[in-house]
Every structure is written in C-alpha cells, then in structure tokens.
Structure 1
Amino acid sequence: MKPVQAGMLAFKLIVTGVLLWFLFRKVDIGPVATRLVSMQAGWAAVALAVLLGQLLLTGVRWYFVGQLVGAGIGFGLASRLILVGQFFNQVLPSSVGGDGVRAWLLSREGISIRHALVSVICDRAAALVLLTVIVACTLPIVILSGDAAIPYAWPLAIALDALTVGGLLFLFLWGGAFSAWLISLPLTRPLGVVIRDLRLVLLSSAKSLWVVGLTIVVQAMVVMSTYFCALALRVEFGTAPLLMLPIIMLISSIPISFAGWGLRESAMVAGLGFAGISAGDALAISVSFGIAQILVGLPGVVVAVMSSYGRKKPSARAVIRPAK
C-alpha cells in the first residue's frame, strides 16, 4: 500500500472511530440493541427486497450510462457487477470503493479501461447530481411544513437551490465549451472528459431521460427501504422524517469514513432528530439500514466467486462514438 493510500485509510478509520465514539457517548446503546434484536421479520424482509430491487435498477441505469459514454455494457453484465460493487462498497474503506472494483472487472470483460472508468464515474456523478436536485426540492417542503426544526433552514435551502439551478444551467448552456477547453489542457483533460460525458448522460437524448427517471426511482426505493427498516423497528415515521432522508443520504455519500459507517449514523441521528425522531431510534434505523446493505451485497460474493474475471473476454467491447 502506498503512503498516500495508507494515510487515507488511517484518516477514514479515525473519522469513523471518532464519530462512533461520539454517538456511543450520547446514545444509550442498550435500547438500541434491544430494538435491533426484536425487529419484525416481515418488514425487514420488505426492506431487503426493496434495497435489492434498487440495486438491480441501478444496473439498468448503468447500462444506459454505458451506452451514452461509449462503453458496451449488457444488462446482465451491468446487474452482476453492480452486485459485486455493492459488496465491496461495504468491505472496502471507502463507500465508493466498489466503484473502482466495478471499473476493474468491467475492463477484464474486454471494455477499455478508459471507457470502464468513465462509465462508472459518470454513473456515480449523475446519481449525486440528481440526488442534489431531489434534496433541493424536498428541503423547502420540509421547511414549509414546519415539522422539522432545522437550524438556518431558509438560508441553507436558498443557497442549495441557487447552486443546483446554477450548476445545471451552466452544464446545459456552457458545459460543452467548458469541457472542450479543459480537454485542450493536458492537466485538466480527465476532468474535461468527465464533464463532457456527464453532460451527455444527463442532457443529450432519450436515454438521458431513462437515466434521470431510473435515478429518481432508485433514490425513492432507498428512502422506502429505510422507512421499512423503521417499521421493522416499530419506530413511528411521519412525512417530515421521510423528506429528511434524501438530505441524510447526500451527506452519507461523502467518502470520509470506512464504508460510510459513522458518518451515516451521525447524519441519521442529526437529521432525523430535527424531524422529531429520538437519537436512539435514529441510530437503530441507521444500523439496521447498514446491515441491510451488507446483506444485499452478499450475492455479489457469489457472483465474484462463480464468474471468471481472470482474463479478458472478447464478447464485450467498447462502442466508439463517431467524432463530432
């Protein structure tokens, strides 16, 4: 392991440890453990099924992203590698570590490493952009409802909405010229390629509508899976906590902790606390959701073991876009 990688791993372990230590000091773990061991199996199974379903839809979205950026990824291959990536997201230090595994395994299937990386990066970036849009829409609703006491709510909502709208307008109106300029400079060429292809993914064709629609459905299913975890724990969950969940998921996606642990729990306790959910209940929901993510990633182990990724396969190939 290189010194930089070792330093990042140490940093994430420290962040995870500090966040969990702080939570455990503030929250009585006894009731949390009691709730977890007495979960209702039916609702827990529904939560797992919904979470697995959103993974499969994520694979379909990645298929469309691959078509738009020039990587020929089949439905079956995309679905299998999404499951593998989900597993490694839970066991590698970063919550996006599975994305690197996806790109590497895709390159072993005959896709060029450049197309593989761009498809994975654009898939992740498109999901984050659209999650930000969802948060920009839901945050004002939460504030107007008056059911959540969020500090500095309106300045936060106005700033987020302005940045989101401004960013999308910039990408639509000037993204092409800006990416071309970045590509012309050797040091910024990779960033320019990502911006160019992200614009293709989100704003270019009917396939872009599929990407947008699937992302909205996927995020809604993640929210509903968390909601079903709350039902399994017998926690009352109203509209305000539901609308807070996209904000929590956006914060949890920041890759500064080990597989998202610690950061997700802190965001869940703080965010749901604004919506009236006790810290213990919020922590139980977050831990149960984290366990559910691990469980739905287990099929990825089977796929990784049963599939032969040791050699390149000629059946998959990159789709080269015509020069414009």
Structure 2
Amino acid sequence: MANQKLKRWLKVAGQLIIAVLAIRFVVKEIDLNELKTTLLSANFWWLILALAAFLASKFLSAFRLNFFFRALGLKLNDWFNLKLYLLGMLYNQFLPGGIGGDGYKVYLLNKWYGTPLKQLIGATLLDRVSGVVALGFLACGLAIFGHTATALGAFSFILWLGLIFAFPAYYLLVHLLFKRFKSVSHTTNLQALGVQGLQVISAFLILKSLGVENANIDYLTLFLITSVAATLPISLPGGIGVRELVMVKGAGYLLIDQTSATALATLFFIISLFSALGGLPFLRLSQPKD
C-alpha cells in the first residue's frame, strides 16, 4: 500500500514538473500581453456556441459509454448514466492523472451492481481507446487538406496510413482482447466520430470568436493532435501545459499564428473546465431505485 501511494505521488510530481516546464517554454515563445489581448477580445456569443457544441459532445459521449456498459449486461437508465458521467468529468478534471473519474465510476458500479472490476475497466478503457482512434482518424483526414501534408514532405504517406488502418487496427484489438464488446463496436465507433466531430466544431467556433479567418484546417488539425497529446498519462488533468506546448511547437511547423493557437488551446481548456462543474450537483449520487 505504501509503495502504491509513493508511486502515485511520484507520478503526480512528474506530471507537475512536465506541466511547469511546458508552460515555461510556452511563456518564452509567445508574447503574453498579445495573448491576454487576444483572449479578452474573444467574441462572447461565439464562445457560448462553442460551449454548447462541447456539451453536446459530452452528452453523446455519455450515451456511447452506456453502450459499452450494456454489452456487459449492465442496463443503466440514460439519465442516471449521464449524471454518473458528469460526476466522472468533475473528478477527471480536478484529480491528478485525469483518470480519477473513470476509477470512481468503476468503483460505484462494482459496488452497486456487482459487475466484475475487470469488465468495467475494460469498458472504460475501450471507451477511451475508441475516442483516441476517432481523434487520429479525423486528424489524418483534415491534415491531408492542409499544410501538414506539405510539412511532412516525403512522410505525408503516414496520413493515408492513419486513415486506412485506424479502424481496422481498432477492430483487431477488440477481436483479440475485448471480444465481449464486438456487438457494439460499429455503433460506438460512429458515436466516437460524432463526439470528436462536435469537439472540432467547438474548436472552429472558438476560432470564429478569435476572428481567425485563414488556415482553419491547420488550426483544427493541430487541435486534434493536441487532444491526443492531452490524453497521455504524462499530463495533468485537461492536458495543462502539454496542450499549449504542442500548439506552440505545431504552429511553427504549420506556419500559423502561435498566439491564436495558444488562445484556442486555452479557451478550449476553460470551456472543458466549466463544463466539468456540471458534476457538482451529483457529488452525493446514489444508486437509483429500480
């Protein structure tokens, strides 16, 4: 037990160090006054629409997760599942590692319904994996039409490989390790594309709020890449620091404005943080009476 706690704190310390170093690099690379002016000049109404698109993505994501649970024979009411999902968002956003909410959901469902921990962990893990696959697929698709293909030069074929093999590789993974979820794979993959598509729309609306009119495809491609980076276990909740670092470095390669790219990452984080507060009313969530 003591060793587990030590490992957990060492992991948090490592994530914090990475976040601090990443933020320090970003601060050196951009003009903070320009970033402040850009953020404060963002159009409020476009941001409201961006928030609405993000919330819609989260509602669809909760609905998708319930398909994985149903594959386990766990039939949760959609409204109760949404409340549980929002509570998980709250924990994920504010607990180090970004997996606290997933762990808490697994704990509650195992406690209330007796569903084996291994199966619940498999469902939440595959839910995350399917989301990352959808992110990579959309990123490759957008990148082909933007400056990314030019920046990659002779390696641009990687984008086509990503498009062609992303979902076949996912289906192979399900067939080999997650056979119980084969029946819901097609549905959940379409939903994953819908979830990430809504988040791309949210990012596009943020760009509109910032008055960005050119190279939207490149900004959105970079946004998807940073979303993948934010899921890595090296980052703090929300990908703080890592998301901004990837934005700044990527903007240099794609020849887009670093300040606008950083502002996009910052505003998206604020929207996700605000949305996570929707879990506050459900801190004392109890098992529904059937």
Superposed pair shares fold, TM > 0.5: yes
Unaligned runs of 5+ in 1: 180-194, 316-324
Q: Which residue of 2 aligns with 1:253?
A: 231
Equivalent AA in structure 1 for residue 206 of structure 2: C
Shift of 1:167: 6.9
Give a deviation string over 1:224-278, Cα, whole Å, max 9, x none. Answer: 1112122222233523323343223222221212111011111222334434331
Q: Which residue of 1 aligns with 2:14?
A: 11
Unaligned runs of 5+ in 2: none
Q: Which residue of 1 aligns with 2:120?
A: 116
Contact 1:81 1:105 in 2 (8 A): no
Shift of 1:223: 1.0
Q: Within the alignment, does 1:100 sit opposite 2:99 as a pair?
A: no
- 1:115-134 alignment, distance < 5 Å: 115-134=119-138
- 1:174-213 alignment, distance < 5 Å: 176=175, 179=176, 195-197=177-179, 200-201=180-181, 204-205=182-183, 207-213=184-190
Q: Secondary structure at the match of 1:73?
A: coil
Q: Within the alignment, does 1:158 sit opposite 2:157 as a pair?
A: yes
Shift of 1:82: 1.7
Q: What's the TM-score, normalizing by structure 1?
A: 0.78
Q: Judging changes above 3 Å, is the alpha-carbon distance between structure 1 residues 290 and 19 closer, same or farther for their aligned structure 2 residues? A: same
Equivalent AA in structure 2 for residue 123 of structure 1: D
Higher-Rg member (1/2):
1
For 1:103 and 1:262, the matched residues in 2 are separated by 28
Q: Which residue of 1 aligns with 2:197?
A: 220
Shift of 1:314: 6.9
Q: Of 272, 278, 286, which residue of structure 2 is paired with 1:299?
A: 278
Equivalent AA in structure 2 for residue 122 of structure 1: L
Q: Judging changes above 3 Å, is the alpha-carbon distance between structure 1 residues 139 and 232 closer, same or farther for their aligned structure 2 residues? A: closer
Which aligned runs of 4 or more in structure 1 are off by greater than 6 angstroms?
Answer: none
Contact 2:142 2:217 in 1 (8 A): no
Q: Secondary structure at the match of 1:71?
A: coil
Shift of 1:165: 4.9
Contact 1:148 1:240 in 2 (8 A): yes
For 2:241 and 2:262, the matched residues in 1 are separated by 10
- 1:224-235 alignment, distance < 5 Å: 224-235=201-212
Equivalent AA in structure 2 for residue 209 of structure 1: H
Shift of 1:111: 4.5
Contact 1:248 1:264 in 2 (8 A): yes
Q: Within the alignment, does 1:31 sit opposite 2:55 as a pair?
A: no
Q: Which residue of 2 aligns with 1:268?
A: 247
Equivalent AA in structure 2 for residue 30 of structure 1: N
Q: Judging changes above 3 Å, is the alpha-carbon distance between structure 1 residues 236 and 174 closer, same or farther for their aligned structure 2 residues? A: closer
Contact 2:130 2:170 in 1 (8 A): no
Q: Secondary structure at the match of 1:2?
A: helix
For 1:164 and 1:120, the matched residues in 2 are separated by 24
For 1:5 and 1:170, the matched residues in 2 are separated by 31
For 2:221 and 2:201, the matched residues in 1 are separated by 11
For 1:215 and 1:35, the matched residues in 2 are separated by 32
Between 1:52-61 and 1:248-257, the stretch displaced more is 248-257
Q: Judging changes above 3 Å, is the alpha-carbon distance between structure 1 residues 78 and 209 closer, same or farther for their aligned structure 2 residues? A: same
Q: Secondary structure at the match of 2:255?
A: coil
Contact 2:133 2:170 in 1 (8 A): no
Give a deviation string over 1:87-122, Cα, whole Å, max 9, x none. Answer: 222211123332222222333432523332222112
For 1:291 and 1:115, the matched residues in 2 are separated by 33
Aligned-residue RMSD, C-alpha: 2.6
Q: Secondary structure at the match of 2:283?
A: helix
Between 1:95-104 and 1:278-287, the stretch displaced more is 95-104
Contact 1:273 1:282 in 2 (8 A): no
Equivalent AA in structure 1 for residue 223 of structure 2: L
Q: Identity over aligned residues, as a percent?
A: 24
Q: Within the alignment, does 1:77 sit opposite 2:87 as a pair?
A: no
Give a deviation string over 1:18-62, Cα, whole Å, max 9, x none. Answer: 000111111111121122223211011111111111100001101
Q: State how many pairs are aligned.
A: 284
Q: Which residue of 2 aligns with 1:284?
A: 263
Contact 2:151 2:254 in 1 (8 A): no
Contact 2:89 2:101 in 1 (8 A): yes
- 1:51-90 alignment, distance < 5 Å: 51-90=54-93
Shift of 1:154: 4.0
Q: Secondary structure at the match of 2:145?
A: helix
